[in-house]
Structure 1
Amino acid sequence: MISQLSWKIGGQQGEGVESTDRIFSTALNRLGYYLYGYRHFSSRIKGGHTNNKIRISTHPIRAISDDLDILVAFDQESIDLNAHELRAGGVIVADAKFNPVLPEGNNARLFPVPITTIAEELGTSLMKNMVASGASWALLGLPLDVFNKAVEEEFGRKGAAIVEKNVEAVKRGADFVLELAGGPIEELQLDAADGKQKLFMIGNEGIGLGAVAGGCRLMSAYPITPASEIMEYLIKKLPPLGGTVVQTEDEIAAVTMAIGANYAGVRTMTASAGPGLALMMEAIGLAGMTETPLVIVNTQRGGPSTGLPTKQEQSDLNAMVYGTHGEIPKIVIAPASIEDCFYDTIEAFNLAEQYQVPVIIMTDLQLSLGKQSCEALELDKIAINRGKLVRELPELETHQLFKRYELTEDGVSPRVIPGDKGGLHHVTGVEHDETGRPSENSLNRLKMMDKRLTKLNGMLIRDAVRADAPHAAADILIIGMGSTGGTIDEARTRLEKDGLKTNHITIRQIHPFPTDLVKSYMDSAKKVVVLENNATAQLASQVKLYVGQAEKISSVLKYDGNPFLPSEVYKACKELS
């Protein structure tokens, strides 16, 4: 029996790879296993190689694995591109229709199954994904009734006849491969899971759920990979709560609509990726100048321009921190798990209203679209903080205006809902006085700039720096952000076995930079390795700028469109030790 294994399905985009993965992983989730998924897909609707990889474990996992136990192949290309990942004695379940051939020197066990033929005998080749699923499920020796329940949930809306045919496809695939293999494969038998039910979602769904829980009732957005699932999630969830989603004509309209709605008192968000964020920059400056709360999700992908729209990258950091013209306070936070996506989104709305600034939630494609197990969310942690929003105001004297931008000690002014009696004030994107009236007075300019820029002094989010630092003095401190945390931890396990003392921090508050917290861990390390998915070491540059100690710092960079593997992190750190 084993405690974990990896399963991958590959084929041409549009062949049902995604639905096969979804049903297979849903069934495993029902059994209580921990799961971590990665999608490799092309930036087109149909055609081009795609594969989905699921890591299955009896204990929590937060990284894709280096190797592979089972490969389900719909075509020869899937074998050619992915068979090298198979561990010794790994298994390939392939459609016999294309006469599968193992690459030279590969010792995997190949099981040709007439996947398409069986599906066509049942009425349609579209059911080949269920035949393939049944075959690979059977080799694991897992109960078919659990899988059939997942099939029923997937196809139930199409009627009992469709469910029955798909269940039959699963059985036919299972029966054929078991006869071929002589029964379930002993080396692939998983230890029993704990049976505990877990949430299973992508980061974008965590963000959407967090938005609902945080009081968001309007989303204005334009579809873009890998952010679109946030909008699709909220399209279903907001209307029953009296909210709505508006698909705008572009990202400029999306962000300005969000600013207007937040100004009117409705918690509103928008979400995009790098190209869309670029279009929002002028409006982000408007939110900063008018001190209007604004929440933006930026799901990073490969750039520049259209770049690699369906591939992993973390190269928008500088754009989020420095992109706006002029100087405004803003907050950039980086969730590192599905749970973070939920809680940080709630906190982003609170921070936006508490400080009256733009807040950018920075994710990456792997966190946004990688489906993962998630422990039950603690709803008692949810708190709504609307900051200095004032609803009951004294009446103003004739011609008197409300001091919407009043100079205060903490830099945050009282805020009102437009139309509230006693709250009359100007709103403008030009420099202004305390009532919002335009002003080019140099002394006023100094006071207003200082007021805005002092808002975030000392501001720290929950777990601004998340640490796993068991050593008072470490040989290596590894620093990461976003989805890299689990990969780093697995590499550290191997490094520790080699006798190296390693600490690990994930920086979750990118701006304002948590200098003192990061410095406290760097001071006690001989060497510092900063791991990031970009070519120009953007996170390392922030560390050097705010903490210093550049002589200690080495960068480990990956920008080929793929996330880090634990073995890659281990090898890089070993070479630097």
Structure 2
Amino acid sequence: MVNQLSWKVGGQQGEGIESTGEVFSTALNRLGYYLYGYRHFSSRIKGGHTNNKIRVSTKEVRSISDDLDILVAFDQETIDVNFHEIRKGGIVLADAKFKPVIEEEKGVTLYSVPFTEIAAELGTSLMKNMVAIGATAAVLHLEPDLFHEVVQETYGRKGAKMVEKNMQAIKKGAEYLTEELQYKRTDLYLDEADGKKRMFMIGNDAIALGALAGGVRFMAAYPITPASEIMEYLIDKLPKFGGTVIQTEDEIAACTMAIGANYAGTRSFTASAGPGLSLMMEAIGLSGMTETPLVVIDTQRGGPSTGLPTKQEQSDLMAMIYGTHGEIPKIVIAPSTVQEAFYDTIEAFNLAEEYQCPVILLSDLQLSLGKQTVEPLDYSKIHIRRGKLIDNELPEIENKGYFKRYEVTKSGVSPRPLPGMKNGIHHVTGVEHDETGKPSEKSSNRKDQMDKRLRKIKSVPLQMPVYKNIVHEHPDILFIGFNSTRGTIDEVISRLENEGIKVNHAQIRLIHPFPIDEIMPIVEKAKKVLVVENNATGQLANILKMNVGYRGKISSILKYDGNPFLPNEIHMQAKELL
């Protein structure tokens, strides 16, 4: 019996690789297993190698596994590209159609299964992925019928006959491999799961759901990997709540539309990736200068320029903090789990309205597109805060003057009327202005308005600016990361602790303004600080050094080849840096 295993399916893009992983993992999730899935795919519609690696466990998992127990291959390239991951004693289930070959000396068993042939006999070779699921079920001693509910939901819209055909394909695959295995049963019996119902979702779904729960009623966006699922989710859901989504002609239009809708009083946002954020920078500056709330989601990917559109990277950090010209108040949040992505998205809209400034919520491709088991969300935690938005009648202004929309206040936050309110008329402009919004180049006014805007975010009360796992008073290592690296770091910690190394962990969720008071004490007490991030220049490490110092004890563990960290990579580098 095993309490976890790793399974991967691979082939050419367009062969149903994603649906194979989806049906397999969703069925196991409903049995109560915890899952973590990550897709490797090419930046094209069809063709090019793609794979979906799924980790199944009786305990919570938030990272990709180092090795692989089962590889399902629809072509030889899948074996060639992924074979190095398979552990000794692992299994390859390959389509007999391409006459698969493996390195026999590694102690891996190959089962050549006629996926395509069995599927064709049932009516179409497209169902070879269902045959592969059936073969997997036989290896894991699972009953084919457990996939029926998911197959019904996936293919039911095509009619009962299509559901029946797909189930036949699963059963035929299971029957074929059961016959093959009758004299050599595998030891891959999964421990029984707890049977609890949990959500199974990608980070982008959590962000979109958070936006909906946080009161958003308008989204403007242009499709881009890996952010498009946010828009696609809300295209379906938002109209049911009286909202709408507009696909704009470009990211510039998307950002300015979101600003306009927020100015009118509707919670609105946009979502994109690095190239789109580059185009939005001037508009983000407009949000800062006009003190109009704005939430922007940045799902980081490989850059610069078009870069690696479908690969993991965390290289937008400096751009999100310092990208706009001039100086404006800005808040940058970086959730590290799918659950946090939901709650932090809601908080992003609260902060944008409370501080009347742009809020950027950073995700990365691994967090946005990695699909994982999620504990039920607590909707009682949802609170909508709209700051100094005026929702009552304004008093008449003496001499019928203009309303002081940009009034210099101690907090830096000014009262915010909605357009059309009686006695609330004021100017709105992107040039420097006085308290009523009228353009002004007076040096004293410039200083007053700059100081007012910048003091707004001196202390941003994010509920949990830093996730901290502090066990030791004086640890040998303090790991620091952001976004999706949290799960992998957590796994590494248990390995190092078993080797007698004392380890603490901090995952920074509020990147700007930087939570110095939270980070400084734990950095001071650590012998070595290791910053884990998916970029080439150590951006988070540099931000850490800028804010807390201690350059001598801070080192970087970096990966920027387009792939997420594996636990073993961090483990080995940490030991080398001690």
TM-score of Structure 1 vs Structure 2, range by shorter chain: over 0.9
2:390 corresponds in structure 1 to 390
Say if 1:403 and 1:436, in contact at 8 Å, map to a contact too.
yes
In the TM superposition, residue 186 of structure 1 has moved relative to its aligned partner by: 4.0
2:231 corresponds in structure 1 to 231
Say if 1:460 and 1:509, in contact at 8 Å, map to a contact too.
no
Q: Distance in 2 between matches of 1:545 and 1:183?
A: 64
Partner secondary structure for residue 106 of structure 2: coil
1:441 corresponds in structure 2 to 442
Cα deviation code 1:6-57 (max 9, x no counterpart): 0000000000000000100110011010000111000000000000000000
1:467 corresponds in structure 2 to 468
CA gap 1:184/1:21 in 2 versus in 1, 3 angstroms: farther
User: How do 1:330-479 and structure 2 match up within 5 A?
Assistant: 330-392=330-392, 393-479=394-480
Partner secondary structure for residue 493 of structure 1: helix
Q: Kindly, what percent of the aligned residue pairs are identical?
A: 67
1:483 corresponds in structure 2 to 484
Cα deviation code 1:53-109 (max 9, x no counterpart): 000000111100000011000001101111111111101110000111103633211
TM normalised by structure 2 equals: 0.99
User: How do 1:42-441 and structure 2 match up within 5 A?
Assistant: 42-103=42-103, 105-182=105-182, 185-392=185-392, 393-441=394-442
Say if 1:111 and 1:181, in contact at 8 Å, map to a contact too.
no
In the TM superposition, residue 403 of structure 1 has moved relative to its aligned partner by: 0.7
Q: Distance in 2 between matches of 1:463 and 1:143?
A: 44
Aligned length: 577
1:532 corresponds in structure 2 to 533
Q: Distance in 1 between matches of 2:143 and 2:381?
A: 37
Q: Distance in 1 between matches of 2:119 and 2:144?
A: 18
Say if 1:134 and 1:170, in contact at 8 Å, map to a contact too.
yes
Q: Distance in 1 between matches of 2:447 and 2:231?
A: 40
2:554 corresponds in structure 1 to 553
Give structure 1 regions of 4+ aligned residues with deviation exceeding 2 angstroms.
103-106, 183-186, 395-399
CA gap 1:112/1:403 in 2 versus in 1, 3 angstroms: same
Say if 1:6 and 1:65, in contact at 8 Å, map to a contact too.
yes
Q: Distance in 1 between matches of 2:346 and 2:396?
A: 34
1:502 corresponds in structure 2 to 503
In the TM superposition, residue 184 of structure 1 has moved relative to its aligned partner by: 8.6
Partner secondary structure for residue 328 of structure 2: coil
Cα deviation code 1:371-405 (max 9, x no counterpart): 01100000000000000001221123443111100
Q: Distance in 2 between matches of 1:144 and 1:541?
A: 52
Return the letter of the residue paired with 1:60: E
Cα deviation code 1:342-382 (max 9, x no counterpart): 00000000000000010000000000000011000000000
Partner secondary structure for residue 105 of structure 2: coil
Q: Distance in 1 between matches of 2:184 and 2:53?
A: 21
In the TM superposition, residue 143 of structure 1 has moved relative to its aligned partner by: 2.5
Task: Judge which range, 503-512 or 146-155, deviates more.
Answer: 146-155
Q: Distance in 1 between matches of 2:169 and 2:323?
A: 53
Cα deviation code 1:179-216 (max 9, x no counterpart): 11117944211101110011000000000000000000
CA gap 1:340/1:183 in 2 versus in 1, 3 angstroms: farther
Alpha-carbon RMSD across the aligned residues, in angstroms, is 0.9
Partner secondary structure for residue 527 of structure 2: strand
Q: Distance in 2 between matches of 1:36 and 1:124?
A: 31
Cα deviation code 1:398-453 (max 9, x no counterpart): 43111100111100000011011121110000000111011001000000000000
Say if 1:80 and 1:103, in contact at 8 Å, map to a contact too.
no
Cα deviation code 1:467-522 (max 9, x no counterpart): 11100110010101100011011111111111110101001111000111111110
Partner secondary structure for residue 523 of structure 1: helix
Q: Distance in 1 between matches of 2:493 and 2:572?
A: 11
Q: Distance in 1 between matches of 2:278 and 2:574?
A: 34
Cα deviation code 1:451-476 (max 9, x no counterpart): 00000112131211111110011001
Q: Distance in 2 between matches of 1:561 and 1:458?
A: 35
In the TM superposition, residue 114 of structure 1 has moved relative to its aligned partner by: 0.4
1:27 corresponds in structure 2 to 27
Return the letter of the residue paired with 1:325: H
Return the letter of the residue paired with 1:258: A
Task: Judge which range, 438-447 or 133-142, deviates more.
Answer: 133-142
Q: Distance in 2 between matches of 1:518 and 1:177?
A: 54
Partner secondary structure for residue 505 of structure 2: strand
Cα deviation code 1:241-291 (max 9, x no counterpart): 110000000000000000000000000010000000000000000000000
Return the letter of the residue paired with 1:465: V
Return the letter of the residue paired with 2:72: V
- Which runs of 5 or more residues in structure 1 are unaligned? none
Q: Distance in 2 between matches of 1:400 and 1:372?
A: 56
- Which runs of 5 or more residues in structure 2 are unaligned? none
Partner secondary structure for residue 571 of structure 1: helix
